[in-house]
Structure 1
């Protein structure tokens, strides 16, 4: 579907570069809805002093992700309802960011794409969650996959998260973890959600999801 199309594609084509697991997740569980056409805003944004390079960066995001609705994330009150770029904002000192999509509920932060392309939240401070939007989508896909195949799922909250022993675990690279990370063990996966704790200066918001009893497919499927 091209930018500005008014049609809905119930079976979106996953962007290239995702793992096979994330591709299946996007194409089976996602839908495409009409996306914003950036062309009608471009001249006005340039007149407001927004650099052309930043407008193009937002437009590239929109071409890749705009209008994609995915199932709710297991944290951050579900994440953006629909991935959609917004008007870039920023300064020369801090760099430019742009919105990644409106939240599903009222939140004390927004979902943003940072100056270096990271996907994160803008609360008391900018907090990158994943090094790119691909990582956010990979994380959603992995959470859906692990929930389906794990024998048990345990949620740990607050300071108890800091006591988790990750010895024997290795990071899951495809999620491009920065503040939020995934870890793979012998028969388990652990998701660490630290973004709210860091961005809101609220250690009580730390949360980990431990998926246990996974076989080889549950650990690596995709």
Structure 2
């Protein structure tokens, strides 16, 4: 498998996320999904879904990013596989293989959402870009925070977020980021929703951040 030491910085991301991908991401060559098109058509996969798989691979295929601080690191690399589902309910695409054995898969939902599929389908972010933004923000915050606190289970409910604002660039659904006066808070509730188990919730609080730590690398229109 051929390795490129620097991944191309995708468009449609904040400067912070583009820098994160360009600096810490690598690209590996992956077999083009087009070679399987006829085989998948014979299996009844709608042409529109095949086009969606191709578009996903062209944008993200082979991208390897550092392990996430949650979900056992996230996908080992980004690359699609055979769509599953139905034309009426929508199809899910494999986002990429797991790094470790997990009771769920990383998938792209019918509307382009990035999420996990286990006991049920759970959307983590509105888009793949949102997932990448969350990885970039976690890396950014962890290198600049004076203190990092991890909270799990029902104790997550006790985090006071009244004075915080939602971080828009991560496009969070089950997983969200919040920005305060000198802190960033990441709340990961995807596993809890997927398995109806509140003990799976995790929050990371990055405290003691200056202005750059809070906003560095965000586009002007991201707030």
Q: TM-score range by the shorter chain?
A: over 0.9
Counterpart of 1:72? 67
Cα shift at 1:9: 1.6
Counterpart of 2:18? 23
Rounded to whole Å, the distance in 2 between the matches of 1:54 and 1:167 is 41
1:27-76 per-residue CA deviation (whole Å, 9 max, x = no partner) reads 10010001221121000101111001001101111000000000000100
Counterpart of 2:6? 11
Query: Which of 148, 171, 195 is the equivalent residue of 2:143?
Result: 148
Cα RMSD over matched residues? 0.8
Counterpart of 2:172? 177
Query: Which of 97, 101, 104 is the equivalent residue of 2:96?
Result: 101
Query: Which of 57, 76, 82 is the equivalent residue of 2:77?
Result: 82
* SS of residue paired to 2:205: strand
Counterpart of 2:220? none
Counterpart of 1:35? 30
Q: Which runs of 5+ in 1 are unaligned?
A: 1-5
**Are 1:207 and 2:198 counterparts?**
no
Rounded to whole Å, the distance in 2 between the matches of 1:35 and 1:178 is 30
Rounded to whole Å, the distance in 2 between the matches of 1:73 and 1:218 is 19
8 Å Cα contact 1:36/1:84 also seen in 2: no
Cα shift at 1:94: 2.3
* SS of residue paired to 1:112: strand
Structure 1 runs, 4 residues or longer, greater than 2 Å off:
none
Query: Which of 213, 219, 223 is the equivalent residue of 1:218?
Result: 213
Cα shift at 1:91: 1.5
Counterpart of 2:119? 124
TM-score (norm 2): 0.96
8 Å Cα contact 1:129/1:178 also seen in 2: yes
* SS of residue paired to 1:149: coil
Counterpart of 2:158? 163
